[in-house]
């Protein structure tokens, strides 16, 4: 059986798939087919020697390779082969750069090829519903558009090299609390528009070789046994042509799972084979489902073997470090700056920015005494804990990089020990250093953040606070100097106390991978101009976040009560003040936007805007386009990100930027029609540099594709009267009624279903039906 691509929304890449013919598959024995639906061990699939199918290896992912040659585990406990550690998704997302995501994907694939790894288990694209999700560092954004675009670029980057990806965790895996059992209860529209939307984008545009189902249940059914997710949505609606693999240990019963659409249970589990055999015997599993699963595993193996047969064993270690460095530079978000940044390079200091430097190094402008304070400067937080942990061959620290860039032994004090209470000795030393630096007219660079024990796969954060010992240290330092630049390392939003937001310079550096130290130094000294933007809102308080009252649920059930209003959609709908809005990010230069033009065509909207660098330094501008529909017939967020692009400009230079908004990105999920619909109406496109800095607006008319409704007697008078075709039929009738002149009465009547008008104003059931028929005929 081949998987039909008839319903594929975009099967552009389908010609790359290797579909074994029916006769090839029929050569597999019944036992071989069953064996293929499960792993051979922790990281390998089964071989079938009679069919010359070797055992292939899959490996985490997503921000570097975690190939375990000895004992395997999925919790990041045992070591893996050295591999470049790129910025985790939290950092990659802050670049807002498809080009960067693709470059990282290509480099990871080269490493996978050199290690004979067939599939990289990533990217992870679940939506950041709450800042508390322990795995947010592995996910991109609170927004499905940004997530989908960057993940598509990453998947294309990896797969171009003949290595597969595993789009995970499908689906609605937005918390770690009770992750193996919890059922996510999400309304239909929110499910499609928010939680499945980015999966749809990546599946339809990039056809990942595999999709990994999540641990949790959705609507009461485990994702691994969920026919709605694994078959109806993924295959029938989106035309997915690849294989569905389970998350490690997500399968409770392989028979039920294969029947629902799962193809491969990982890791090895002999009980799974028994379950599948039992299902076949008792008729709850069709042989066709086993044929499908085994066929897709065979297809994956053949495709991979073909692609890996000529793989190089050498990789360009330095080149990949440079890719990681450029990604890290682009990921850093300048939250605020009163002019304290960039710092001057002390006289006599200054290294060559080197290959890949996007910076604009100043000439040396004289010494600025500096002090580096905070443990993270010397022992960086550069990735999260759990199955994604990479073992990098080298690791740069901010302290070393600052010393090497400035050519001076910049003094350092640890200030605190991550995960520990305030230490009077460490704090005292740091405050003394800050005082001496202030007396010499210098600047303190203070590195704060979350420890690895706080953010991890497997459990959620308890709060969104910076550790108290660090806040205490900052407050003590601020008693002796105001010249403090705060640099934050964390995998998801933290609450920023007043002492942080009052600092003259604040950089959110997220988690930056192995080259983060150099990237931080380059940005501090203006060798690179910061261009990262927030992929998640930084709220003022946890209590303000839209999911607050509904996270993480109880009794293994979590109700997504905020509905569509996740992240900025919720903050904007309520007008809630935030610390920094979604999309925010400053630069050392200034940009201006002009000449906005939006045209509406059959394929979507075309946005053009002129970007001018009005400042003194070269830099990259990230331009964002948000769409809203005035007077929409359905509940909508105030505005939604639907397009973005970037352009790098020299001082004074201008360039026209084009942003395409494909028609499918204008769709909403109609619960009435059970399908995606573009609504007819006036669409506003707001363009700017963050969700709350949108200086330009243009409006266009869009002709929708709403299915012609079939009116029946359960419709209200108001609903029927809203149809232009109905007005001509019904208006004369209502004009004769005494209510015609009474606006209150009209409002009341508008709420009444037609079938409740029987007996009123001389109407009976037959007349009402005639009216309904007349309305339907008029449409």
Contact set with ligand BGC (CB under 6 A): 60-61, 74, 121, 168, 247-248, 387
* C-alpha separations of 594 from 622, 645, 647, 688, 697 in Å: 14, 15, 14, 10, 10
603 is catalytic: no
CA dist., res. 712 & res. 133, Å (int): 45
Question: To 5 degrees, how large is the angle CA 226–CA 231–CA 233?
Answer: 95
Q: Which is nearer to ligand BGC, 5 or 55 (CB)?
A: 55
**Active-site option among 60, 156, 178, 247:** 247
Are 63 and 80 in contact by the 8 Å Cβ rule? The answer is no
Q: Closest distance between ligand BGC and the C-beta of residue 248, in Å?
A: 4
How far apart are CB 393 and ligand BGC at their closest, in Å?
21
DSSP annotation of 347: T
Q: At its nearest, how many Å lie between ligand BGC and the CB of residue 182?
A: 14
Least distance from C-beta 166 to ligand BGC, angstroms?
7
Q: For residues 154 and 571, which CB has a smaller minimum distance to ligand BGC in the complex? A: 154
Torsion angle, alpha carbons of 745, 747, 753, 757, to 10: 10
Smallest gap, in angstroms, from Cβ of residue 177 to ligand BGC? 14
* Residue among 337, 221, 225 nearest 589 (CA): 337
- Contact call for residues 699 and 725 (beta carbons, < 8 A): no
Cβ at position 275, least distance to ligand BGC in Å: 21
CB 109, min distance to ligand BGC, A? 17
Q: Is 242 exposed, middle or buried (0-12, 13-18, 19+ CB in 10 A)?
A: buried
Helix (H, G, I), strand (E, B) or coil at 688: strand
Distances (CA, A) of 377 to 321, 403, 415, 501, 623: 19, 11, 11, 20, 31
Report the residue count for the chain. 779
DSSP, collapsed to helix, strand or coil, labels residue 447 as strand
CB-wise, 174 or 387, nearer to ligand BGC?
387
Cβ count near 779 (within 10 Å) = 13
Tracing tokens 């998947």 back to the chain, one arrives at 155
Of 72 and 619, which has the nearer Cβ to ligand BGC?
A: 72
Residue 611: other Cβ atoms inside 10 A: 25
Contact between 306 and 298 (Cβ < 8 Å): no
* Degrees, nearest 5: CA angle 365-368-370: 145
Q: Quickly tell me which residue has 């995606």 as its tokens.
A: 676
- Closer of 74 and 235 to ligand BGC (Cβ): 74
- Measured from the CB atom, is 120 or 666 closer to ligand BGC? 120
Please tell me the distance from the alpha carbon of residue 604 to that of residue 637, in angstroms, as a whole number: 20
Quick one: 42 or 734, whose CB is closer to ligand BGC? Answer: 42
Say if residue 60 is preceded by a cis peptide, omega within 30 of 0: no
**Which residue in 146, 174, 133, 193 sits closest to 583, CA to CA?**
146
How is residue 228 annotated by DSSP? I
Q: Which two tokens stand for residue 296?
A: 């897709």
Task: Determine the Cα–Cα distance for residues 197 and 218; give it in Å rounded to an integer.
Answer: 15
The residue (of 229 and 625) whose beta carbon lies closer to ligand BGC is 229
Work out how close the CB of 385 gets to ligand BGC at its nearest, in angstroms, rounded to a whole number.
12
Pick the closest to residue 417 from 473, 370, 354 (CA basis): 473
In the complex, least distance from residue 73 CB atom to ligand BGC, rounded to whole angstroms: 8
Minimum gap (Å) between residue 68 Cβ and ligand BGC: 9
Q: What is the CA radius of gyration of the chain?
A: 28
For the bound state, the minimum distance from the C-beta of residue 74 to ligand BGC, rounded and expressed in Å, comes to 3
- Would you say 95 and 146 are in contact if contact means Cβ atoms under 8 Å apart? no
In angstroms, the CA 651 to CA 621 distance is 12
Of the candidates 679, 703, 695, 688, the one whose C-alpha atom is nearest the C-alpha of residue 631 is 679
Please, are residues 257 and 266 in contact by the beta-carbon 8 Å criterion? no
Please identify, using beta-carbon distances, which residue of 168 and 620 lies nearer to ligand BGC: 168
Q: Least separation, in Å, of the C-beta of 216 and ligand BGC? A: 11
178 DSSP β-pair partners = none
* Token output for 612: 């001018």
Strand 183-185 to 58-59 pairing? unpaired
- Residue 82 or 319: the one with the smaller Cβ distance to ligand BGC is 82
Tokens of 439: 């007396």
List Cβ neighbours of 455 (8 Å cut-off, separation of 6 or more): 134, 136, 137, 384, 385, 461, 490, 491, 492
Q: How far is CA 550 from CA 190, 558, 566, in A?
A: 15, 7, 12
Closest to ligand BGC by CB, 123 or 513: 123
Q: Is the Cβ of residue 168 or residue 617 nearer to ligand BGC in the bound state?
A: 168
Cα torsion 535, 539, 542, 545: sign: negative
**Shortest Cβ 559–ligand BGC spacing (Å):** 23
Residue pair 7/236 in contact (Cβ under 8 Å)? The answer is: yes
Q: Which residues pair with 622 in a beta bridge?
A: 646
- Residues designated as active site: 247
């Amino acid at each position: 059986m081949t998987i039909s691509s008839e319903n594929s929304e975009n099967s552009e890449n389908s010609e790359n798939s290797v579909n074994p013919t029916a006769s090839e598959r029929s050569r597999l024995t019944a036992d071989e087919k069953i064996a293929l639906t499960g792993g051979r061990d922790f990281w390998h699939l089964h071989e079938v020697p009679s069919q010359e199918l070797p055992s292939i290896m899959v490996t985490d992912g997503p921000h570097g390779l975690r190939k375990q040659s000895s004992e395997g585990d999925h919790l990041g406990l045992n070591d893996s082969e050295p591999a470049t550690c790129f910025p985790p998704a939290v950092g990659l997302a802050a670049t807002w750069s498809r080009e960067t995501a693709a470059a990282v994907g290509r480099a990871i694939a080269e490493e996978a090829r050199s290690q004979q790894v067939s599939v990289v288990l990533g990217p992870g694209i679940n939506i950041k519903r709450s800042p508390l999700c322990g795995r947010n560092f592995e996910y991109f954004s609170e927004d499905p558009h940004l997530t989908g675009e960057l993940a598509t670029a990453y998947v294309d980057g990896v797969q171009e090299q003949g290595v597969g990806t595993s789009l995970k965790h499908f689906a609605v895996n937005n918390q770690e609390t009770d992750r193996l059992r919890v059922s996510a209860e999400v309304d239909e529209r929110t499910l499609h528009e928010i939680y499945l939307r980015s999966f749809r984008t990546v599946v339809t545009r990039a056809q990942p070789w595999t999709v990994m189902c999540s641990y949790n249940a959705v609507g009461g059914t485990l994702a691994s046994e969920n026919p709605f997710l694994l078959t109806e949505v993924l295959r029938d609606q989106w035309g997915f042509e690849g294989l569905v693999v389970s998350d490690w240990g997500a399968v409770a019963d392989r028979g039920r799972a294969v029947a629902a659409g799962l193809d491969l249970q990982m890791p090895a589990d002999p009980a799974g084979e028994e379950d599948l055999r039992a299902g076949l015997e008792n008729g709850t599993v069709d042989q066709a489902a086993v044929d499908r699963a085994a066929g897709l595993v065979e297809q994956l193996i053949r495709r991979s073997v073909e692609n890996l047969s000529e793989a190089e064993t050498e990789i360009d270690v330095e080149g990949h470090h440079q890719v990681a460095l450029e990604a890290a530079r682009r990921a850093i978000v300048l939250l605020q700056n009163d002019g304290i940044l960039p710092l001057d390079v002390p006289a006599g200091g200054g290294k060559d920015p080197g290959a890949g430097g996007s910076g604009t190094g100043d000439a040396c402008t004289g010494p600025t005494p500096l002090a580096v304070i905070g443990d993270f400067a010397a022992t960086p937080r550069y990735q999260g804990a759990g199955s994604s942990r990479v073992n990098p061959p080298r690791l740069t620290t901010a302290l070393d990089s600052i010393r090497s860039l400035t050519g001076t032994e910049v003094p350092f004090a640890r200030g605190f020990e991550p995960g520990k209470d305030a230490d009077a000795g460490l704090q005292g030393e740091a405050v003394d250093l800050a005082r001496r630096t202030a007396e010499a007219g210098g600047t303190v660079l203070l590195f704060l953040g979350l420890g690895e024990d706080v953010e991890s796969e497997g459990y959620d954060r308890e709060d969104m606070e910076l550790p108290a010992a660090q806040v205490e240290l900052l407050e003590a330092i601020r008693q002796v100097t105001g010249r403090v630049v705060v640099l934050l390392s964390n995998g998801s939003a933290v609450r920023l106390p007043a002492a942080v937001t009052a600092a003259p310079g604040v950089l959110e550096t997220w988690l930056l991978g192995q080259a983060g130290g150099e990237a931080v130094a380059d940005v501090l000294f203006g060798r690179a101009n910061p261009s990262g933007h927030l992929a998640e809102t930084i709220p003022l308080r946890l209590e303000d976040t839209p999911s607050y009252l509904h996270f993480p649920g109880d009794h293994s059930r979590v109700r997504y009560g905020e509905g569509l209003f996740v992240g900025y959609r919720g903050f904007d709908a309520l007008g809630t003040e935030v610390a920094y809005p979604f999309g925010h990010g400053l630069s050392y230069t200034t940009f201006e936007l002009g000449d906005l033009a939006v045209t509406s065509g059959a394929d979507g909207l075309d946005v053009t805007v002129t970007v001018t660098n009005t400042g003194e330094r070269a830099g990259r501008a990230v331009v964002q386009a948000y769409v809203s529909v005035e007077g929409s017939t359905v509940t909508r967020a105030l505005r939604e990100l639907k397009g973005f692009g970037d352009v790098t400009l020299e001082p004074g230079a201008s360039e026209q930027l084009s942003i395409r908004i494909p028609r499918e990105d204008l769709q909403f999920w109609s619960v009435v029609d059970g399908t995606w619909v573009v609504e007819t109406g006036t669409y506003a496109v707001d363009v700017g540099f963050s969700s709350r800095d949108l200086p330009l607006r243009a409006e266009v008319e869009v002709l929708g594709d709403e299915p012609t409704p079939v009116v029946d007697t359960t419709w209200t008078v108001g609903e029927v009267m809203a149809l232009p075709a109905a007005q001509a039929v019904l208006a004369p009738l209502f004009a004769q009624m005494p209510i015609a002149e009474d606006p209150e009465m009209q409002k009341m009547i508008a709420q009444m279903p037609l079938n409740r008008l029987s007996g009123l104003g001389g109407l009976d059931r037959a007349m009402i039906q005639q009216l309904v028929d007349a309305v339907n005929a008029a449409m």
